[in-house]
């Protein structure tokens, strides 16, 4: 009966599986069974064994075949597989001095695995009848087989132990992930409660403060009003900042759920940029910060939601003032670029590390820095990002001119 040889694709697939398994090979040809064979008389040995040569890819025996012989590997390597060749499991491989098929002979059961030559393999074949005769005449054969089986059982136990340890480690990792998920959910819940607290518990008193300041402007005598105009402007500016925070919390939630309405109209950008600079002029002048607005005369109208764009600019300018050093300059600019307008706000502050320029637009994100700075809730830039993207634009931050400070830029499509 001609030998069964795998096709080239089948064999190459097994070789790839064999290499991926990264199986260790520690066999030695100096095994008890091989040493025992060397002590047998040559005449008896020739009756006991027959030599068999297998080329790479040749099937030595199939899983489920009748165990009619055992084999001792004289040279080469043999792959041990379980299952169908379409999706086999690589159990390992045997090398010189090791045996194949002795379990089937001892148990009288079908073979438990498929054996395929990995290399050019030379085998010493011992038939069932010869094996039992040898086993009866030489008790040392049984001891050698037991030693071999014991070694395999020990290896299997080591694999089982390693597998169990790996399973326990995996369970620990899964439990840790569950704990981390629960912690994240708790953090999200606390953040939402904080948002609700700010929106519901601060909005009404904030409105009262804002209204009271406006009332003071109406009822104060003219000379008193002019003497305290700067204080009133600062108070109004602080109220407006708080109001923007509350609005940002609500609007970020609406953007996230897709409930934020957008009302687009064609507007001129120059007046909006100038108005933003004017509103911040008191805070800027107190620190010696110069606000410069640069807009070309031929800048076309842009379809935007004017109220939301105004808040984007206010957030970015407020952010620039927060980090700008005293006696520096902030430039608010707009320019035309093909089919969109680029708006930028550039400061001369400490800048933002490259690895954090993307994450600062995430909700509640803060720049990691050892220097103490005024901290916020990390919502302003999130609102800016969501609003610009809702307009069909993009927003980013990069270093300012000559690597000094930060330049926040965003695009607004013309159509």
| 157-206 residue pLDDT tens | 665 676 677 677 878 888 888 888 888 887 777 766 666 666 666 767 77
| 2-49 residue pLDDT tens | 788 999 988 988 888 877 665 554 444 445 566 666 666 666 667 778
Give, for 186, the enclosing helix (H) or strand (E): helix 139-196
State how far the Cα of 353 lies from the Cα of 156, in Å rounded to an integer. 53
Answer whether 336's CB lies under 8 Å from 296's CB: yes
Q: What is the pLDDT of residue 249?
A: 74
Q: What is the pLDDT of residue 369?
A: 54
β-pairing, 329-337 with 406-413? Answer: unpaired
Q: What is the DSSP annotation of 242-276?
A: HHHHHHHHHHHHHHHHT------EEE-HHHHHHHH
Q: What is the pTM of this model?
A: 0.47
DSSP designation for 182:
H
Strand partners, 79: 93, 116
Residue 374 confidence class, pLDDT cut points 50, 70, 90: very low
pLDDT, the chain, mean: 80
The C-alpha angle 98, 103, 105, rounded to 5 degrees, equals 110
Q: What is the pLDDT of residue 23?
A: 55
Answer whether 101's CB lies under 8 Å from 156's CB: no
What is residue 284's three-state secondary structure? helix
State how far the Cα of 392 lies from the Cα of 308, in Å rounded to an integer. 14
State both tokens at 220. 């104060």
| 194-235 residue pLDDT tens | 666 666 667 677 777 878 888 887 888 888 888 888 888 888
Task: Please say if the pLDDT value at position 370 is more than 50.
Answer: no
Answer whether 300's CB lies under 8 Å from 336's CB: yes
State both tokens at 238. 């602080």
Answer whether 299's CB lies under 8 Å from 336's CB: yes
Strand partners, 69: 127
Q: What is the pLDDT of residue 394?
A: 94
Nearest to 266 by CA among 415, 97, 87: 415
Tabulate helix, strand, coil % of the chain (nearest 5): 50, 20, 30
State CA 302 to chain mean position distance: 39
What is residue 380's three-state secondary structure? helix
State how far the Cα of 360 lies from the Cα of 382, in Å rounded to an integer. 8
Which of 96-105, 133-142, 222-231, 309-318 is predicted with the least confidence, judged by mean pLDDT? 133-142
């Amino acid at each position: 009966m001609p030998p069964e040889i795998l096709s080239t694709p089948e064999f190459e697939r097994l070789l790839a599986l064999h290499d991926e398994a990264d199986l260790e090979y520690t066999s030695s040809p100096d095994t008890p069974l091989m040493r025992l064979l060397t002590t047998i008389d040559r005449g008896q040995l020739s009756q006991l064994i027959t030599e068999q040569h297998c080329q790479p890819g040749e099937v030595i025996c199939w899983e489920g075949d009748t165990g009619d012989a055992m084999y001792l590997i004289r040279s080469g390597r043999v792959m041990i597989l379980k299952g169908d060749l379409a999706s086999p499991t690589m159990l390992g491989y045997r090398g010189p001095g090791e045996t194949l098929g002795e379990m089937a002979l001892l148990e009288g059961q079908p073979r438990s695995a498929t054996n395929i030559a990995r290399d050019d393999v030379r085998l010493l074949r011992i038939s069932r009848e010869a094996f039992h005769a040898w086993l009866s005449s030489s008790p040392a054969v049984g001891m050698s087989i037991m030693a071999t089986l014991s070694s395999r059982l020990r290896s299997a136990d080591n694999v089982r132990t390693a597998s169990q340890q790996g399973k326990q480690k995996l369970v620990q990792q899964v439990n840790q992930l569950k704990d981390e998920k629960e912690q994240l959910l708790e953090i999200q819940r606390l953040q939402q409660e904080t948002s609700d607290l700010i929106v519901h518990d601060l909005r009404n008193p904030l409105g009262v403060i804002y209204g009271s300041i406006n009332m003071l402007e109406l009822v104060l005598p003219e000379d008193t009003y002019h003497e305290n105009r700067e204080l009133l402007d600062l108070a109004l500016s602080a109220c407006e900042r708080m109001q923007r925070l509350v609005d940002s919390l609500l609007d970020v939630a609406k953007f996230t759920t897709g409930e934020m309405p957008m009302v687009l109209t064609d507007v001129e950008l120059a007046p909006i940029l100038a108005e933003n600079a004017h509103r911040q002029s008191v805070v800027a002048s107190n620190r010696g910060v110069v606000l410069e607005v640069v807009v070309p005369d031929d800048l076309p109208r842009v379809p935007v939601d004017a109220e939301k764009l105004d808040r984007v600019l206010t957030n970015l300018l407020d952010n620039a003032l927060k980090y700008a050093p005293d006696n520096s300059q902030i430039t608010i600019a707009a320019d035309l670029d093909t089919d969109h307008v680029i708006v930028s706000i550039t400061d001369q502050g400490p800048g933002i590390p490259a690895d954090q320029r993307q994450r600062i637009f995430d909700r509640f994100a803060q720049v990691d820095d050892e220097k103490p700075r005024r901290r916020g809730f990390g919502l302003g830039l999130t609102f800016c990002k969501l609003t610009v993207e809702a307009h069909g634009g993009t927003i980013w931050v990069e270093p300012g001119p000559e690597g000094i400070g930060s330049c926040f830029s965003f695009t607004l499509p013309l159509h």
